[in-house]
Every structure is written in C-alpha cells, then in structure tokens.
Structure 1
Amino acid sequence: MIANTKIDFQKIKTKLRVKSPWDRIIILCLSILITLPVFIILHQNLIELNWAFQLDRILLFLVVSATIYFLLYQLRTIIIICVVLYLLVLFYGTVIGNYGFNQVYQDYDSMIYTMTYNPYPQDIIVSKLLPFPNKSSILQAIEYQNPKVRNFAIMATSKHFKSVKGYSEYRTLIQCFAVFKEINSRWNYVNDPKDGDYIATASESLRYFSGDCDDHSILMAAAIRSIGGTPRLIHTKGHIYPEIFIGTSKDLEAINYLIKNKLFVKESFGKPLHYHIDERDQIWLNLDYTAKYPGGPFMSEEILGALTLN
C-alpha cells in the first residue's frame, strides 16, 4: 500500500513538473512577480540609507529576488502549483478589496517614481516657538460647519479630479486637493486696512475669493476640514499659510506620484514637493496661495508657530 502511494506521488510530481528550460523561465518570471510586493513591504518598513543612485534599494531588490528565485528553484517540481497559488492570492485580494493586482501596480509605480523624483523637505518643525497671533479670532473664522463652506467644498470635489479612479485610501486627500485647486485658481490677494488686521470668516471670503494670506488660510482650512481633511496654519514672520496632513513617508510616496502624474501634471512638472515633518514624524504639505500645486515652494521659511485643527 505504501509502495503504491509513493508510486502515485511520483507520477503526480512527474506530471506537474515543467520540462527544462521552461521551468527556469517560469521560475524567473514568478520570482520577479513575487519580489515586487515583498520588496515594496520591505522598502516601506526599512530605514533608507540614502546611498547614491538609490543603491541601497537596488541591492535590496536583488537580494530579495535572488532569495525568492532560490526558494522557487527548490520547489521546481511543483512550480505549476506555486504559480496557481500566487495568482489565487492576488485574485482573492483583488476581489475582497485588499492587497491585489491593482495595489501591487500602484505601490510599485509610486515607489519607483518617488525614488526617481524625491520630494523636498524644506525644514523640520521641532517645536512651536511662539503663541499663534490672533488665535481665537482665527479659530472662530474657520467655519468648517457652515453649510456655505461645505457646499463650496463639495462643489470643488465634483468639479475637479472626479474621474481619477483607484487610490481609494487617498480619496479624502484627492478631494482636498480639488478644494486647493478651486481656491488657488480664483484667489485675488488684497491687503488689510492700514490701521490693523482684518480677519475675514471663511463664508465671507467665499463671496469674492479675495483677501490677504490669513484670509486665504482660513478659507482653505475651513473647506478642507469640512470634508474630512486635517489642515493646520503655519505662522512665519509677516505671513500665514495653510498645510494639510499627509501621513507617513509611505503616504508621501503615493501622494507624490498622484500629484505629479494624475492631478497637477503640468503645474508640477520637473518640480519637487515641499513639506514639513513635525516632531512626531508626521508629514504636512504646503498649500500656500502662491503654490500652483500642493507642495509648491514655500514663500517663507522662518517658522514661528503652528495651529493645528484636529
């Protein structure tokens, strides 16, 4: 009985085994396909050494690829089963909305793009140095629960980037970028009266899309907050501008790719993203009225304080 079982098992292995040289070709292709998601996970969780020409990441990719090739070669007698299992795992992830074929492509595309076109951290906020000027008045002016403000934000999301498919986890940020595009394309800078600061409410600024930097920041923060984004205002010497919370360096990779390849292709062509990293290693992207795309150049670099809308 045992002998018959061994014979049957050998017959099965013989039927499943792919003849040379096709077994090596299939193993090579499969190892590359498996390397992609494994490399992406390692890339996102391992510290970057910042070697020239991304050599640390190239070396990591080669090591992962060689290791997977070696393991698959040891399983070459059942290579067909390995192929089927790999495809089934990705197919299952695609069907239930988890990590599947599309996510592998998006993550790899974002990673490669960011490795080629790195965003640019202007500086790091270590602490909030001074009290935020006119803090109570500004907070009252950020009317994110005002129906007019929310209706405006909803209109902007219907007008811009509605056709962008995929990237569901960044849907809120994409919609916030639609708000940014609508406001900055219409904003008209007008100075305050000579005898002091005039702080316009968000709903007031919606009428003419005019005012100074704090009026712009208030409207931007209110509209973004009204649709679920997390904005904050940065205070510099003589200037206030808004930023939006992006997340981690992994999120920055995806956002960098989206801005430069899907959302603001012409405006950001050949230009880096400018952002700040706070004391908790959280990334905030510049949304100043002078920026033509999210993450445009900072108008002022000297940071005196920050006001975050949680």
Structure 2
Amino acid sequence: MSTSVNINFQQLKSKLQLPKPWDSIIIFVLNILLTIPVFIIVHQNIIDPQWPFHLDQVFLFLIIVILFQLLLRALRTIIIIAIFVYLLILLFGTVIGGYGFNAVAEDYRAMMYSMADNPNPQDVIIAKLLPFPNKSQILESIEFNNPKVRNFALYATTKHFKDVKGYHKDRRMIQCFAVFKEIRNRWNYVNDPKNTEYIARASESLVHFSGDCDDHAILMAACIRAIGGTPRLIHTGGHIYPEMLIGKKADLEQANYLIKNVLFAEESRNKEIHYHVDERGQIWLNLDYTARFPGGPFMSEEILGALTLN
C-alpha cells in the first residue's frame, strides 16, 4: 500500500514538473513578474536613503529577485500550479478593477521611468510660515463653487486628454493637468493698477484670462478644486503661484511618467520635474504660469508662506 502511494505521488510529481531547460526559464519569468509588484510596494513604503545612481533601489530589487528565485526553485515541483494561481489572481484583479495585468504594466513603466529620470525634489516646507498676504480676500476669490468656474474646468477636461486611455486610477490627476494646460495656454500677464494690489475673483479672470500672478494662482486653484483636486498657493515675497497635491512617492512616480511620456512629452523633454514636499511627506507639484508643463521650473525658490485649500 505504501509503495503504491509513493508511486502515485512520484507520478503526480513528474506530471507537475516542467522539462529542462523550460523549468528554469519559467521560474525566471515568474520571478520577474512577482518581483515587480513586490518591489514597488516595498520601496514605496521605506525611507529613501537618496543613494547616488539609485543604488538603493538596485540592491532592493536584487534582494527580492534572489529571495523569489530561491523560493520558486524550492517549489519547482509545483511550478505549474504557482503559475496558474498567479495568473488567476491577476485575472481576478483585472475583472474587478483591482490590481491586474494593466496595473502591473503601468507600475513597471512608472517605476523604470522614474529610476531613469528622477524628479527634482525641493526643500521640505515647514508648517509654520509667515502670514499669507491678503489671505481672506484671496480665499473669497477662489470661487470653486461658482458655476462659471466649474463649467470652465469641465470644458478644459473635455478639450484636453479626454481620449487618453488606460489610466483610470489617475483620471483626476489627468483632468487637473488638462485644466493647467488650458489656463496656461490662454493666460496673458497684465500688471495691477499702479500702487494698487488688485485681486480678481476666479470668475472675473475667466472673462479675459488676463491678470498678474495672484490672479492666475486664484483661477488655477479654483478650477483645480472645482473638479476634486487639492490646490494650494505659495507666497515667495514678490510672487504667488499655485501648486497641486499629487500624494506620496508612488503618486509622484506615476505623475512623472504621465507628464514626461504621455501628456506633455514635447514640453518636458530633457527637463526635470519640480515639486515641494511638506512636513507630512505629501508632494505638491508646481503649476505656475511660467512653466510649460506641470512640475516645470520654479520662478522663485524662496518660500515665505503657503495657503492650502483643504
């Protein structure tokens, strides 16, 4: 009886095994497919030591590859079952809109693109800064609930990037970038009256798309907020400009990929992405009118105050 069971087990084992060298090839491919999402999750949730040439990411990737290689070799007798389970999980994620085949491909592209073209971080902004000039008046002027402002923002999202497919989870970010593009393309800088600080409401700036930096920042912030984004204004002394909340490091990597490879490829060619990191580790992307693409160069590096619209 024992001999019969042993023979049956050996027969089952031989059926589940792949012939050489296909077993090694399949193990390597499965290793890479498993390593990519695990690497992305791990490196997004650990402190970035800022090693040169991304050596920290290279070492982390190699460690995960080696661990999976050892694990898969230990399970090589049931490698077919492992492949089936992995594909089943990804298929289930694709069907229900979770982490599926498309998500693996997008995360891999964003990860590799970010490693090849690292964004340009700026100094962390501390929580307590100088009082923001004309704060009450500016807040009143950011009329994100005004139907004219909301309708213009909707118009911008239908004019730009509407046909970009495959980035459902980044839809809000892409639509905010569409608003940036439309306002930036139409904005005409005009000085305030002499010796007067004139602050135009967002709905007022929609008439001619003209005004100075604070008028532009107010309009941009209102339109971004009107479609669900989180904007803030940065005061540098002689200049005010808008920024948009991107999120954490993983979101920055995806924004970097979208800007440089999908939405603003020509404008951002060979350029760095500029942003600020606040005291909570949240990343804010520059949306100044002087930039040709989201995350373009800052007009001024000095930061005296920040006004956030929650």
Of residues 217-226 and 159-168 in structure 1, the stretch that sits farther from structure 2 once superposed is: 159-168
What is the deviation of 1:240? Answer: 0.7
User: Is 1:206 aligned to 2:206, yes or no?
Assistant: yes
Match of 2:282 in 1: 282
Match of 2:242 in 1: 242
In 2, the alpha carbon distance for the partners of 1:129 and 1:78 equals 60
Match of 1:105 in 2: 105
In 1, the alpha carbon distance for the partners of 2:132 and 2:184 equals 24
In 2, the alpha carbon distance for the partners of 1:223 and 1:104 equals 32
Of residues 17-26 and 88-97 in structure 1, the stretch that sits farther from structure 2 once superposed is: 17-26
What is the deviation of 1:123? Answer: 2.3
What is the deviation of 1:38? Answer: 1.5
Structure 2 residue identity aligned to 1:306:
A
What is the deviation of 1:51? Answer: 2.4
What secondary structure is seen at the aligned counterpart in 2 of 1:301? coil
Structure 1 residues 1-310: aligned runs within 5 Å: 1-310=1-310
**TM-score after normalising by structure 2:** 0.96
Structure 2 residue identity aligned to 1:307:
L
In 2, the alpha carbon distance for the partners of 1:233 and 1:283 equals 14
Identical columns (%): 66
Of residues 283-292 and 125-134 in structure 1, the stretch that sits farther from structure 2 once superposed is: 125-134
In 1, the alpha carbon distance for the partners of 2:183 and 2:51 equals 40
What secondary structure is seen at the aligned counterpart in 2 of 1:303? coil
**TM-score after normalising by structure 1:** 0.96
What secondary structure is seen at the aligned counterpart in 1 of 2:306? strand
In 2, the alpha carbon distance for the partners of 1:139 and 1:227 equals 17
In 2, the alpha carbon distance for the partners of 1:211 and 1:246 equals 26
Unaligned segments of structure 1, at least 5 residues: none
Structure 1 residue identity aligned to 2:244:
I
What is the deviation of 1:289? Answer: 1.0
What is the deviation of 1:3? Answer: 4.4
Structure 2 residue identity aligned to 1:222:
A
After superposition, the Cα gap between the structure-2 partners of 1:288 and 1:65, relative to the gap in structure 1 and judged at 3 Å, is same
What secondary structure is seen at the aligned counterpart in 2 of 1:253? helix
Structure 2 residue identity aligned to 1:225:
R
Question: Do the aligned partners of 1:260 and 1:268 also contact (CA within 8 Å) in 2?
Answer: yes
RMSD between aligned residues: 1.3
Question: Do the aligned partners of 1:243 and 1:284 also contact (CA within 8 Å) in 2?
Answer: yes
| Residues 120-159 of structure 1: per-residue CA shift (max 9 Å, x gap) | 1232211342111111111111111111100000000000
What secondary structure is seen at the aligned counterpart in 1 of 2:31? helix
Question: Do the aligned partners of 1:233 and 1:307 also contact (CA within 8 Å) in 2?
Answer: yes
What is the deviation of 1:202? Answer: 0.6
Of residues 3-12 and 77-86 in structure 1, the stretch that sits farther from structure 2 once superposed is: 3-12
What is the deviation of 1:290? Answer: 0.6
In 2, the alpha carbon distance for the partners of 1:198 and 1:269 equals 36
What is the deviation of 1:197? Answer: 0.9
What is the deviation of 1:233? Answer: 0.7
In 2, the alpha carbon distance for the partners of 1:225 and 1:52 equals 37
Of residues 5-14 and 149-158 in structure 1, the stretch that sits farther from structure 2 once superposed is: 5-14
In 1, the alpha carbon distance for the partners of 2:253 and 2:187 equals 29
What is the deviation of 1:2? Answer: 4.9
| Residues 179-236 of structure 1: per-residue CA shift (max 9 Å, x gap) | 0000000000000001311111111100100000111011101111111010111111
In 2, the alpha carbon distance for the partners of 1:51 and 1:22 equals 37
What secondary structure is seen at the aligned counterpart in 1 of 2:206? helix
Unaligned segments of structure 2, at least 5 residues: none
After superposition, the Cα gap between the structure-2 partners of 1:136 and 1:162, relative to the gap in structure 1 and judged at 3 Å, is same
What secondary structure is seen at the aligned counterpart in 2 of 1:307? strand
What secondary structure is seen at the aligned counterpart in 2 of 1:197? coil
What secondary structure is seen at the aligned counterpart in 1 of 2:165? coil
Question: Do the aligned partners of 1:128 and 1:306 also contact (CA within 8 Å) in 2?
Answer: no
What is the deviation of 1:7? Answer: 2.7
